[in-house]
Chains A and B, each alone.
Chain A
Amino acid sequence: MDALNGLFYGLSVAFELHNLLLLLAGCLLGTLVGVLPGLGPVGAISILLPLTFQLPPAGAIIMLAGIYNGAMYGGSTTSILINVPGEAASAVTCLDGYAMARHGQAGQALGIAVFGSFIAGTVGLIGLQLIGGPLSVLALKFGPPEYFAIILMGFTFIVYLAQGSMIKAVLMALAGIILSLIGLDPITSEQRFTFGNIHLFEGIGVVPLAIGLFGLAEVFANLEKTAPARVLKVRIRNMFPSRSQWLQAKWAIARGTVIGFFMGILPGGGPVLSTFMAYGVEKRVSKHPEKFGHGAIEGVAAPESANNAAASTSFIPLMTLGIPPNVVLAVLFGAFMIHGVTPGPLLMTQHPEIFWGVIASMYLGNVILLILNLPLIPLWVQVLRIPDKILYPLIVLFCLLGAYSINNSVFDIGVMILFGVVGYLLNKFDFEAAPMILGFVLGPMFEVNLRRSLLMSQGSFAIFVERPIALVALIICIILIILPIYQTIRKKRSYVKQ
């Protein structure tokens, strides 16, 4: 099926009434989650996953993708109105969005965020539609050595693009791999680190882990804050940016879209990093960099465009290679598996209704979010006024139910609480939880493909350099490892010279 026919087929799936309603529900829930500070898309998808259990796989994934996109749209609202990002990908928007709101331009800031998100999200989807098919066909030729090398490249990117210390990111990714090894050995079925506990035979679930690290840990972190965030009292008069604001923002939207497009595909990149990069580029190319941080509309348009483009294109590696490039997609990977669907090169042929249905529904979701977001902003502002003392117990309740309902297991609640505490401490000790989740999801694939490759080659590592795709991936790994070392040495040399 070519891209155009695929899209028409996908639209026929997405326009089925129940799928349309699920998409609408997903978009609304996602926006709500994006608006509420303290609960990002990872926690939201994990917590709301049980709601999809009774649904057919296509409808379930459409709803979850809607939540993801909705969260990307909704995150800007809190950034602009209360200077607190609803989710990490909107953190940069605070800088100029809140400044615009204080200057009486909250409406225009929200407006440019929504329009920029729509344009960038749509461009990202066109990329997903065009690249997805050919990449799936290519991925069918991949064997264990190629997969091993690509996953290794993924890990290297995750570490290279880590926001904090690279060493800490490596440690987190490795800890994630160790956690993923709990359970039965995938080749010999021997028990590993189960301590004879029957609940651990199938390993730890990604959902209790993600809810703990990203949902409960956030609640713990917010509980200890001494001062609650205040909603800026603004009158949102006009949400349509003026002609001059459009002219100012158009290139920022274009650059943000391009950056987000490529960062979304890269493992470890994703929406969060793309926003920082887009903001940095915009400030650098601007004729008035001094205006950034004081209400520059480009400072809102670029990161909001980048995070939505990245959110769309991050589906490319998941749906074509079966490799989640960021933490949200890692949880979505788990959701696919729970619904009995394996994301990867066979998804397009075995489940075309999901592959094309999700793409088409994301186009529709973008339109729904554009139409809904502008009139609903006053409602979201009211949602922001829900006191923390009511909000956080309810989030905890949903965390508990979300963890329990995957296997109807109280043990999973215990796992979730344990990782809630771990996530809280990681945050205190300045460690990022995202590489751990990615390590956890990619760990089993990494191990199986390494061991299969070694069995195939009778223990020779030459198999990884004899295959062109694996070789290219390994060369990229080496460059990514050498680059920061070289940069550090250069920096030290110039420091010594000075």
Chain B
Amino acid sequence: MDNRNLISCIVFLGLSAFVAVSSIGLGIGHLTNPRAGFMPFWTSLLIIVFSLILFSQTFVNRSAQAGRVDIWSHVQWQKSLLAAAALCVYVFILPVIGYLPATGILMLALFKLGSMKILPAVLASLLAVILSYGLFSFILNTPLPRGTLWF
């Protein structure tokens, strides 16, 4: 049985159940006067139906499938996880310390993640941050976050 499909079904069922209940709170209305909850309610019901079909398909085909699929083997998933974690930290520190330092730290982390030596990584980060700041702030007139810590 493909364990990926089972996990997907559980996630879809959970999310659609939440949407369906919230939609009832919004008010579904009637066919003559559909209200704000009308579309999310029926869409979430369809998701439940199709999740159950996927579940039953997976269950019926359990002997034909290769079985448990390990999506984390033969890959360096730790690198992707670290990159995602670095980005999450970035979102929180960006408004506080501003674009230049926050992006500099992020770029350094990402270059180091690619096994770059420290000096080239620092230089590459500085270059990337300064050039992107120049392009977006001065040429495209995009106000990049300046950071609440300094102002």
Contact = CB atoms under 8 A, between A and B. Distances in A.
Interface of A: 50-51, 53-54, 165, 167-168, 170-171, 174-175, 177-178, 181, 185, 187-188, 190, 192-193, 216, 219-221, 223-226, 387-390, 392-394, 396-397, 400-401, 404-405, 408, 410, 413-414, 417, 420-421, 424, 428-431, 447, 450-451, 454-455, 458-461
Contacts of B12: 171, 175
B83 to A, nearest CB: 6
B111 A410 contact: no
Most central of A54, A393, A454 by chain B CB within 10 Å: A393
B9 to A, nearest CB: 9
Given A429-B7, A450-B34, 13 more contacts: A171-B12, A178-B15, A181-B43, A190-B26, A192-B26, A226-B75, A389-B114, A392-B110, A393-B124, A401-B136, A408-B143, A417-B91, A447-B39
Contacts of B80: 220-221, 223-224, 424
A162 to B, nearest CB: 13
A447 B40 CA distance: 9
Nearest to B110: A393
Given A171-B51, A397-B103, A429-B8, A389 B71 contact: no
Contacts of A220: 80, 83-84
B63 interface: no
Interface of B: 4-5, 7-8, 12, 15-16, 19, 22, 26, 30-40, 43-44, 46-47, 50-51, 53-54, 57, 71, 74-77, 79-80, 83-84, 87-88, 90-91, 94-95, 103, 106-107, 110-111, 113-116, 124, 128, 132, 136, 140-145
Q: Interface of chain A, helix or strand or loop or mixed?
A: helix
A181 B19 CA distance: 11
A410 B95 contact: yes
B32 A219 contact: no
Contacts, number: 163
A410 B26 contact: no
B90 to A, nearest CB: 8
Contact of A167 (B36, B50, B107, B132): B50
B22 A193 contact: yes
A34 to B, nearest CB: 22
